[in-house]
C-alpha cells in the first residue's frame, strides 16, 4: 500500500495523508522548518515504528514531538499509557481532541505535556518504560540524552532521526562518524540501527532520509567517576578529534604531560584519537584526572 492509498477499515482511527492535510488545514497548522515538523502520513510506517520499539500492553510510553498524532494513535493501539510532550501550543491544544475522536476508548490512557522536552523533569501518569518518537532533526541528540538521563525507568527507546544522526548514534569505535553522540548514548544503552525510513511517508517531505535507532537500557560503566566527569573527557577528546588524545586532552588535564599521565594510568596509548575509544575507556581516563585539575 502506498502512503496515499486510503487506509483499510480496521485502520480508521489512524491518520492517512488526507487526514493529516485536513487536520492541518482545520487547525491552521503550517509545518515549520524551525521546529523540524514533518508529519508521518502512512499508517504502515507508524505501526512499524511501534513494532520496532518492542512496545507491549504493559508499557507506559513517552513520545516527544507528537505533532498531529500519527504515531500517538499507533502507540495507543498497543501501549497501556502514552504521554506526549509537545512544544507547539497549537498542536498541543488539538491533539487530545484528535485522540478522543479517533480512539475514545483510549482517551483516559493519554496525557499531554505542553513543554520543551529539554525542560521536562517529570511526567504525569505511570513512570515511562519506553520512549518512542519521531524527533525533530535539529534537537534529536540533546533531547534523546536528556530523556535517558532524566527518566531512568525508560528501558527501551526507538527514535526516528535524520539518517546521518542515526549513523552517528549507532557507530562503533573506529568508525569515521563515531563521536560524542555515539559515546554518550552508549553510556545509557546498547545502541543499534533499526531500519531506514523513506521521504515519501512524510508531509511535507523532508530533503533528507530518516533512520530508526534502537536503544536498550543497560547499566553505565562501572567507574568511580561521575557521568559529568566522563562526559567532560568525551567532549574534550572530540573537540579536536583530529588530534591525538595527548593533545586533545591537554586542556582537560592541565597540560599535555598531565594528559599523558592520565592516559598511561588508564592503560591507553596517548597517540590514539578519541574515535578509537569505548565509553568504558573514557570512564577510565576520567578516573585518573590529575589532582590539580579536579
Cα torsion through 162, 55, 131, 27, rounded to 10? 70
Q: What is the pLDDT of residue 9?
A: 38
Q: Is 116 labeled as ligand-binding?
A: yes
132 labeled part of a ligand binding site: no
In order of 19, 210, 257, the CA distances from 32 in angstroms are 19, 18, 49
Are 117 and 66 spatial neighbours (Cβ–Cβ below 8 Å)? no
Alpha carbon 31 to its chain's center = 21
> Is 65 among the annotated ligand-binding positions?
yes
Please tell me the predicted confidence (pLDDT) of residue 138. Answer: 82
User: Is 200 annotated as ligand-binding?
Assistant: no
For residues 236, 240, 207, 130, the Cα torsion angle rounded to the nearest 10 degrees is -20
44 known member of a binding site: no
Tell me, letter by letter, the H, E, C secondary structure of 130-186: EEEEECCHHHHHHHHHHHHHHCCCCCEEEEEEEHHHHHHHHCCCCCCCCCHHHHHHH
Q: What pLDDT score does 229 carry?
A: 98
What per-residue confidence (pLDDT) applies to 271?
97
Cα-Cα-Cα-Cα dihedral sign, residues 7, 13, 16, 22 = positive
State yes or no: 164 annotated in a binding site.
no
Query: What's the pLDDT score for residue 33?
Result: 60
- Residue 174: its pLDDT value, please? 96
* CA pair distance 171, 146, nearest whole angstrom: 20
How far apart are the C-alpha atoms of 17 and 179, rounded to whole Å? 37
Residues of the chain predicted below pLDDT 70 = 1-11, 32-36, 292-294
Query: What pLDDT sits at residue 25?
Result: 93
pLDDT at 30: 80
> Which pLDDT score is estimated for 137?
78
Q: How far apart are CA 167 and CA 225, in angstroms?
A: 28
Q: What is the structure's pLDDT at 128?
A: 98
Amino acid at each position: 500500500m502506498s502512503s496515499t492509498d486510503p487506509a483499510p477499515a480496521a485502520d480508521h482511527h489512524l491518520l492517512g495523508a488526507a487526514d493529516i492535510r485536513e487536520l492541518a488545514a482545520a487547525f491552521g497548522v503550517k509545518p515549520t522548518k524551525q521546529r523540524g515538523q514533518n508529519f508521518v502520513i502512512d499508517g504502515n510506517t507508524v505501526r512499524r515504528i511501534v513494532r520496532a520499539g518492542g512496545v507491549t500492553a504493559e508499557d507506559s510510553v513517552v513520545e516527544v514531538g507528537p505533532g498531529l498524532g500519527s504515531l500517538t494513535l499507533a502507540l495507543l493501539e498497543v501501549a497501556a499509557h502514552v504521554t506526549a510532550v509537545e512544544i507547539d501550543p497549537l498542536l498541543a491544544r488539538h491533539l487530545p481532541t484528535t485522540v478522543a475522536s479517533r480512539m475514545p476508548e483510549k482517551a483516559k490512557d493519554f496525557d499531554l505535556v505542553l513543554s520543551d522536552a529539554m525542560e521536562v523533569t517529570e511526567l504525569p501518569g505511570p513512570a515511562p518504560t519506553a520512549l518512542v518518537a519521531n524527533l525533530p532533526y535539529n534537537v534529536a541528540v540533546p533531547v534523546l540524552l536528556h530523556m535517558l538521563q532524566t527518566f531512568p525507568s525508560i528501558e527501551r527507546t526507538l527514535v526516528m532521526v535524520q539518517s546521518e544522526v542515526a549513523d552517528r548514534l549507532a557507530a562503533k569505535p573506529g568508525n569515521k562518524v563515531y563521536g560524542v553522540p555515539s559515546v554518550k548514548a552508549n553510556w545509557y544503552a546498547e545502541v543499534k540501527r533499526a531500519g531506514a525510513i523513506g521521504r515519501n511517508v512524510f508531509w511535507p517531505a523532508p530533503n533528507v532520509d530518516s533512520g530508526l535507532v534502537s536503544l536498550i537500557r543497560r547499566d553505565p560503566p562501572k567507574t568511580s567517576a561521575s557521568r559529568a566527569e566522563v562526559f567532560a573527557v568525551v567532549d574534550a577528546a572530540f573537540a579536536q578529534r583530529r588530534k591525538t588524545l595527548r593533545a586533545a586532552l591537554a586542556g582537560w588535564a592541565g597540560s599535555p604531560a598531565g594528559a599523558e599521565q592520565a592516559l598511561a594510568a588508564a592503560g591507553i596509548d596517548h597517540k590514539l584519537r578519541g574515535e578509537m575509544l569505548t565509553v568504558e575507556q573514557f570512564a577510565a581516563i576520567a578516573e585518573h584526572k590529575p589532582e590539580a585539575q579536579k
